[in-house]
């Protein structure tokens, strides 16, 4: 990684993935970094259970972003990371999921590189992998889905104005991949309309995993033409993933068989 050898007093910045929320899904390396750093900058998606692992003597600074509510701008955050490292401190930049999957970790790494700061990435389980697994939804299944595509439904903003969501909907539909939309609740109507307009059957199944990998996890499923109605009716809140594709039928079969096995085991015990 880039490192300014002219100043041996510079600190280091670790871009750390906190995973989808369950503290047991933290990597060993992530936990060691959290417990040995001098300062932690953490996101909104870092769970309360993970925050309880922060050492009491370590400064923890909230820099989360929720829709249009940003505690600090991305530019200000990069400057804070650089400033702390220049003071010789070991910095933990803790992000929900994985730093390089819709986590802006690469933007921070670029800023640190240009400032001559040593940086390292500690991967985390991204939400699309952790939350779907927790919900019993396979991202791929032989003969049904040979790939998966992660899509951010969050449009970049400029001067407070949201720009058009730049997605090639036709390519998504033609891929036949399982589609996983991050930050898609506010764009549920758009996702529904654009996928159907691009040729995806309205009967294609979707699932929404709300607060995945936590005790409050909930799963909602229906046909694609009911996506917006489902979000509105159940007042689903972030964090949540929208999963679209044929694998939802596999997930339902798995759930049915698992419940049946549990019931049969209960009968044997009785």
pLDDT of the residue at 9: 75
The HSE-up count of residue 105 (CA atoms within 13 Å, CB side) is 26
Annotated domain spans of the chain: 12-125, 128-254
d(CA 10, CA 116): 9
Closest to 104 (Cα-Cα) out of 131, 69, 79, 77:
77
pLDDT of the residue at 5: 44
pLDDT of the residue at 268: 61
Catalytic residue among 65, 218, 226, 252: 65
Q: State in words which class domain 12-125 has.
A: alpha beta
Are 12 and 118 contacting, i.e. CB atoms less than 8 angstroms apart? yes
What the block records as the tokens of 9 is: 């007093």
Our answer to whether residue 222 is catalytic in this structure is no
pLDDT tens per residue, range 166-211: 899 999 999 999 999 999 999 999 999 999 999 999 999 999 999 9
Identify the helix (H) or strand (E) that includes residue 182. strand 178-182
pLDDT of the residue at 70: 59
d(CA 205, CA 202): 8
Q: Dihedral through CA 98, CA 100, CA 102, CA 105, nearest 10? A: 100
Is the sign of the CA dihedral 164, 167, 168, 172 positive or negative? negative
Closest to 258 (Cα-Cα) out of 136, 139, 141, 143:
136
Are 12 and 119 contacting, i.e. CB atoms less than 8 angstroms apart? yes
Domain at 128-254: CATH architecture: 2-Layer Sandwich (3.30)
| Maximum C-alpha span of the chain | 73
pLDDT of the residue at 52: 97
Closest to 33 (Cα-Cα) out of 129, 126, 121, 107:
121
pLDDT of the residue at 260: 74
Are 204 and 245 contacting, i.e. CB atoms less than 8 angstroms apart? yes
pLDDT in tens, the chain (270 residues): 554 444 557 899 999 999 999 999 999 999 999 999 999 999 999 999 999 999 999 999 999 876 555 578 999 999 999 999 999 999 999 999 999 999 999 999 999 999 999 999 999 999 999 999 999 999 999 999 999 999 998 765 544 444 567 899 999 999 999 999 999 999 999 999 999 999 999 999 999 999 999 999 999 999 999 999 999 999 999 999 999 999 999 999 999 888 877 756 656 655
Our answer to whether residue 69 is catalytic in this structure is no
Catalytic residue among 43, 95, 98, 211: 43
């Amino acid at each position: 990684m880039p490192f300014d050898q002219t100043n041996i007093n510079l600190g280091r910045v670790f871009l750390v993935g906190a995973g989808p929320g369950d503290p047991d899904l933290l990597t060993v390396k992530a936990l060691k970094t959290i417990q040995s750093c001098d300062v932690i900058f953490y996101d909104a998606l870092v769970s309360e259970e993970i925050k309880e692992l922060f050492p009491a003597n370590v400064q923890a600074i909230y820099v989360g972003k929720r829709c249009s509510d940003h505690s600090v701008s991305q530019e200000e955050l990069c400057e804070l990371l650089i400033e702390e490292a220049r003071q010789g401190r070991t910095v933990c930049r803790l992000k929900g999921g994985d730093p390089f999957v819709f986590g802006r970790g690469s933007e921070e790494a670029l800023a640190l590189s240009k400032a001559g700061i040593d940086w390292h990435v500690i991967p985390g389980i991204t939400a699309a992998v952790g939350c779907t697994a927790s919900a019993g939804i396979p991202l791929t299944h032989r003969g049904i889905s040979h790939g998966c595509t992660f899509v951010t439904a969050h449009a970049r903003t400029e001067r407070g104005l949201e720009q058009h969501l730049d997605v090639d909907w036709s390519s998504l539909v033609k891929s036949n991949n399982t589609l996983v939309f991050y930050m898609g609740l506010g764009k549920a109507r758009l996702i529904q309309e654009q996928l159907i307009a691009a040729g995806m059957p309205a009967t294609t199944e979707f699932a929404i995993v709300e607060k995945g990998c936590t005790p409050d996890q909930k799963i909602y499923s229906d046909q694609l033409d009911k996506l917006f109605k489902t979000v509105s009716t159940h007042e689903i809140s972030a964090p949540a993933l929208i999963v679209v594709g044929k694998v939802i039928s596999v997930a339902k079969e798995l759930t049915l068989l698992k419940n049946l096995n549990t019931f049969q085991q209960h009968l044997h015990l009785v």
